[in-house]
Amino acid sequence: MSMNGKSLNVTKDIISKLKEVIPGAFTEGKINVEQLKQILGEHINTDAERYQMSWAGKTDAYKILQNPTTSTLAPSPSESINWEDAENILIEGENLDVLKVIQKSYYGKVKVICVDPPYNTGSDSFIYPDKFSETKEEYARRVGDKNEEGHLMKEGLFRPNRKENGQFHSNWLSMMLSRMFLARNLLRDDGIIFVHIDDNEIANLRLLMNEVFGEENYIQEIVWQRHAGGGNDSKYFAVDHEFILCYAKNISSIDKLRMPLSQKDIAQYKHKDRHFATLGPYKTKSFLRMRPDDPRPGLQYAIRCPDGTEIFNEWKWEENSFLEALKEDKVIIRKDDKDRWVVEYKLYLNSSDGEKKEKVPRSLFLNEARNSQGKQTLTEVLGNANIFNNPKPVELLKTLINLASSNDKGEIILDFFAGSGSTGQAVIELNKETGGNRKFILIQMPEKIEQNTEAYKAGYKYISEITRKRLANVIKQVGESGEPRLQFDKRRVQGFRFFKLSRSNFKVWKSDQITNEDELKAQVELFGNSHDDNIVEVKFLWELMIKNGLSLSSKVNIKEFENSTIYYVKKPSLAFCFSQVTDTVVKELIVSIKPSQFVCLDSSFTNEDCIKTNIILKLQENGIELKSI
C-alpha cells in the first residue's frame, strides 16, 4: 500500500470528474485544450476582454488550495463528552488544513454549512500567506507563527489585515477562496451554505460565491436586522443590519425552502370545529379576491346568505369548490360588527395528512433574533457575556438550520469558523425542540487570547477552549439531572468527539531538504519504516481511518490477544493491526471479523517472506484484501 500521508488532491479530483464527463478532451492523460475547444464549440469565450473577478494573489490562492496537506487529526477522548457514543465533532485546528484533511471522510456528505467568517473590518486577524514559494512550515518558522505549545499566535500567517495594507481586499479574498472551494466539495448535491457578512465585503463575497458555487446556484441575499435603535451619532446612516448569503451546491436538487410557523403564527389559530382531530385549530380569512387589476369571470358569482340575501362578487375559488367547502363546514358566512354579511374561509394549522403547515421564508429577517441575544445566551451558558465578541444569536442559527435540513435524517451541519460554538448549541437545542437527530462538525483555530481580555481573566488561553467549554455546558444544561449527555431517545446525538490538528504519523519525504549525497542517505535510512516509531497506536489508527475516508464518528471495536490487538470498524468493513500478525490474528479475521480489507505494518510480519505470502493467500481466499505499510 502506498501511503504518502497526504490529503485529497483537489486538482486530481477535478480532472478525474472531467474525464468522466468529457473523456475526449484528454490526450495521454492530460487535458488537450484544443480538443476541448472543438468539443465545446461555440460555448468557448475567445474574447480578450470578458467579465471576470480578479485580484492580486488569486493565482497563488488557487495554488495553495491545490496543495495537499500532510497533517492529520489526533483524537482526544479525555477532552470529549461521551466519546464512545458521540456523533458530533469538534476539531481544534487551522480551518484550511482541517478542511483538506476531512475531504475524503465527508466529501459530498454535509447538508448545511453555516459560517461567520472575518468581516474584514480592518481589525480582523486571519491567515493569509504573502509568499507562495515558501511552504507554510517555512513561513511559520521564519515569522515565529507558533508558540512552544504549537498554537497559532497573532503574528505571522495569523495576523491583522489592516486597511492601510495595499492588498486589503485581496488578502481577504485569497483567504476565503480556498476555504469556500473546499467547503463546496463537502456539501451534498442538495446542500446549502449560509455565509454571514456585513457591508465591508458583501459585494466581493457575492462575486466570489458566484465563482465558486456558480451564479445559477445563488438562492438569496438575506438582510438580517441585528439590532434596532441607537446609532444617533452616525455621520450618515445608522446601520442596523447584516447580510446572510445563501447558495446551493446544485439548485436543481433542491425542491423548495420552507420555515416552520412561529409561536406568534400558531397563536392566530384559535378556533376549533369538527375537523380539529385531523386538521387542528383554524383561523379565518376573507373569501374576497382583491385583484381589480386582474378580473376573472370564472370567479364571479352570487353567494346566498342565511337570510336569503345574495352577495355578488369576485371570490377566491370557483363556485363548485366554494359549495364543496360550504358543505364540509370549511366556509363561514356571518355578519360583521357593522351588520354586513361577510364570507370567510377557514385556514387550518395542519395539512390533510396531519402535519403542521409551513411558510415561505422572507428575505428580510426583521424579527428572527437580535445580536444582543447572542451575548445573553453566552451569559447563560458561560456566565460572562464579554468573553467573546459578537456571538451570533442561537435563535437565528436555528432558523437557518431548520430551513435547510430535516429532523430525522441524521444530516450534518458544518461550521468551520466556529468561534464560541453558537452553531453547535443551535443544533443541540434544535434537536431537542424538534425531535431531530442532526449532527454538527465544528472547526475552530486555537487562536491565542490577549491577556488584557475578560476571556483570559476567566481562565481561557485560546478561543477553541471557549468553544469546547460552551458545548460541554450546553450538553449538561439540556440533559437530565445535569448529566453530560443528551437524554432524548436512542436516535438522538449525544456529546461530542474532540480532535486536534496534528502532524502526520507518517514520515514525510522532504526532497527540498536534500542538497548532497549524505542528506539523501539520511532520508533513505529514515524511510526504513514509513511510520514514526514513536507513534501512539490510536493516533496512527485514526490517521489511517481518515486517509481511508471513514467518518470521525466511526465506532471502533477492539479485540486483544496475547501479543496483538485488532481494531476494526463495521461500516465500511475495515480492520487494522499495528502489532504482530499471528495465526490467531489471521483466524480471528477470517472466522469472526470478516473485513473486506485488512491494514497492517510491514514490521508486523517476521522476516520470513514465505510466512507473509501464506498469510496473504489465506486472507485472499476468504475475500480479505491485505494492505501493508
pLDDT, mean over the chain: 85
pTM value is 0.81
User: With 80 as the cut, is the pLDDT of residue 134 above it?
Assistant: no
Q: What was the pLDDT predicted at 42? A: 64
**Higher-pLDDT residue of 518, 143:** 518
Q: What is the mean pLDDT of residues 135-158?
A: 48
Q: What is the mean pLDDT of residues 430-442?
A: 93
Strands 565-569 and 557-560: antiparallel
Terminal-residue alpha carbon distance, the chain: 6
Considering 300-304, 359-363, 590-594, the range whose residues carry the highest mean pLDDT is 300-304
Decide: residue 229, CB within 10 A, 0-12 exposed, 13-18 middle, 19+ buried.
exposed
Q: What was the pLDDT predicted at 161? A: 64
Grid cell of 45 as nine digits: 469565450
Q: How far apart are CA 484 and CA 482, in angstroms?
A: 6
Q: What confidence tier does 2 reach under pLDDT thresholds 50, 70, 90?
A: very low
Q: What was the pLDDT predicted at 523? A: 47
Query: Is residue 541 within 8 Å of 556, Cβ to Cβ?
Result: yes
What 3-state class would DSSP assign to 422? helix
Grid cell of 222 as nine digits: 438575506
CA neighbours closer than 13 Å in the CB half-sphere of residue 152: 24
Q: At what angle do helices 10-21 and 58-66 cross, to 10 degrees?
A: 90
Q: What was the pLDDT predicted at 319? A: 96
CA distances in angstroms from 524 to 23, 45, 70, 200, 310, listed in the order given: 39, 49, 19, 52, 99
Q: In which residue ranges of the chain is CATH 3.40.50.150 found?
A: 62-258+360-502
Q: What confidence tier does 147 reach under pLDDT thresholds 50, 70, 90?
A: low
Q: What was the pLDDT predicted at 126? A: 59
Lowest-confidence region among 185-199, 279-293, 480-494: 480-494
Q: What was the pLDDT predicted at 52? A: 82
Q: What was the pLDDT predicted at 132? A: 39
User: With 80 as the cut, is the pLDDT of residue 600 above it?
Assistant: yes
Q: What confidence tier does 247 reach under pLDDT thresholds 50, 70, 90?
A: very high
Q: What was the pLDDT predicted at 160? A: 61
> pLDDT > 90: what percent of the chain?
56
Whether omega before 572 lies within 30 degrees of 0, making that bond cis, reads yes
Q: What was the pLDDT predicted at 345? A: 98
- For CA atoms 299, 302, 305, 310, the dihedral sign is positive
Q: What confidence tier does 494 reach under pLDDT thresholds 50, 70, 90?
A: confident
Q: What confidence tier does 517 reach under pLDDT thresholds 50, 70, 90?
A: low
Query: Is residue 256 within 8 Å of 358, Cβ to Cβ?
Result: no
Q: What was the pLDDT predicted at 5? A: 62
Lowest-confidence region among 42-51, 346-355, 399-408, 481-490: 481-490
| pLDDT tens, residue by residue, 220-240 | 999 999 987 776 777 888 889
| pLDDT tens, residue by residue, 574-598 | 999 988 888 889 999 999 999 999 9
CA neighbours closer than 13 Å in the CB half-sphere of residue 596: 6
Give 362's contacts (C-beta < 8 A, 6+ positions apart): none
**What's the Rg (C-alpha) of the chain?**
30
What 3-state class would DSSP assign to 488? coil
Q: What was the pLDDT predicted at 522? A: 54
Considering 308-312, 475-479, 580-584, the range whose residues carry the highest mean pLDDT is 308-312
Output the CATH code of domain 62-258+360-502.
Answer: 3.40.50.150
**Higher-pLDDT residue of 123, 89:** 89
